[in-house]
Structure 1
């Protein structure tokens, strides 16, 4: 059975993006990219909320066509292009001719059942980056098997909070380490189903 893994870069004060969804102040770079590539190699399906899907859909297909992209980014682009994709959205209309137009789109009401079916029928993990609204919903339902928080060495002071206020979720710390060559600390948690 596959696991559902969420990976999120977050500021020390708990923001996954600055005001208006601005990601530019979060510490991304080669070490961050290498971590994401290693995680992608374990995945069979990428899971997205609508906003994160749009960001990835607009960025990675262009990187895949960019001959000047470095080897790590090129491999990430190729993997994200090949992997199956599930988008949870009640509003996304995805033309087949669009980049990643073959992604499966399911409404929120069907999302829990569809994700559980994918977990049950796959030996490769489901992986989600960002998608904090979806993450909060699935955490509250006890459906997240693993949460990787990449704590960046920055305080944003405002923006988009990673965790919703009052979120009921139990997590068990199973690994903590500094990503070599960076000031990012990876905190890896196992999800605990609600009682």
Structure 2
């Protein structure tokens, strides 16, 4: 069995988004992009919920060809554009002419656990954002590693990164990302 890795940026006070779901309140930097590109290269599948998928799809497809984007942003875009995407949603529909339509599969919430178990037999799965999805998968025992990229920002309110029952984790690594203000906390679940 391969593993499911959750990668999430989080404020120092434990929020994955600011008030109103504002993810731009978090301290994204070049180190974040470099780490995400590294994780994308290691993954066979990117798993998200509908909201995260729509946010990623609205931003990343064109960045690969944007001369104003950084090298790391263009790399993240190329990796996302090439990735097999699986979206957990009961409401998402994808038009044939939309970015990533040829590489995206939508799975109903009721089928998510069974689908993830089946995919884990032969695939490394990466989850970006998608707190509702990964909190549910963590509670179900399907998350192998949790990579929290903790930034030097106090939001005071917003969407908490964790929304489940008490869950013991084992610290595997803690280090500051090169050229970044973010500290990686890597846990096994």
SS for the counterpart of 1:68 is coil
Q: CA deviation at 1:93?
A: 1.0
Q: 1:1-195 residue pairs with structure 2 within 5 A?
A: 1-102=1-102, 103-122=104-123, 125-164=124-163, 166-191=164-189
Whether the aligned pair in 1 keeps the contact of 2:144 and 2:188 (CA below 8 Å) is: yes
SS for the counterpart of 1:170 is coil
Root mean square deviation, CA, Å: 1.2
Q: TM-score normalized by structure 1?
A: 0.92
Whether the aligned pair in 1 keeps the contact of 2:30 and 2:179 (CA below 8 Å) is: no
Residue deviations 1:163-182 (CA, integer Å, cap 9, x gap): 11x52422111111111222
Q: CA deviation at 1:91?
A: 0.7
Q: CA deviation at 1:71?
A: 1.8
Q: CA deviation at 1:40?
A: 1.1
Q: TM-score normalized by structure 2?
A: 0.95
Whole-Å separation in 2 of the counterparts to 1:133 and 1:74: 28
Q: CA deviation at 1:20?
A: 1.3
Q: CA deviation at 1:5?
A: 0.3
Whole-Å separation in 1 of the counterparts to 2:64 and 2:116: 28
Whole-Å separation in 2 of the counterparts to 1:52 and 1:82: 17
Whether the aligned pair in 2 keeps the contact of 1:10 and 1:16 (CA below 8 Å) is: yes
Q: CA deviation at 1:13?
A: 1.0
Change (3 A) 1:168 1:96: farther
Give the gaps of 5 or more residues in structure 1.
none
Residue deviations 1:64-112 (CA, integer Å, cap 9, x gap): 2323322211111111011100000011111122111120000011111
Whole-Å separation in 2 of the counterparts to 1:70 and 1:113: 38
Q: CA deviation at 1:28?
A: 0.6
Whole-Å separation in 1 of the counterparts to 2:122 and 2:179: 37
Whether the aligned pair in 1 keeps the contact of 2:18 and 2:155 (CA below 8 Å) is: yes
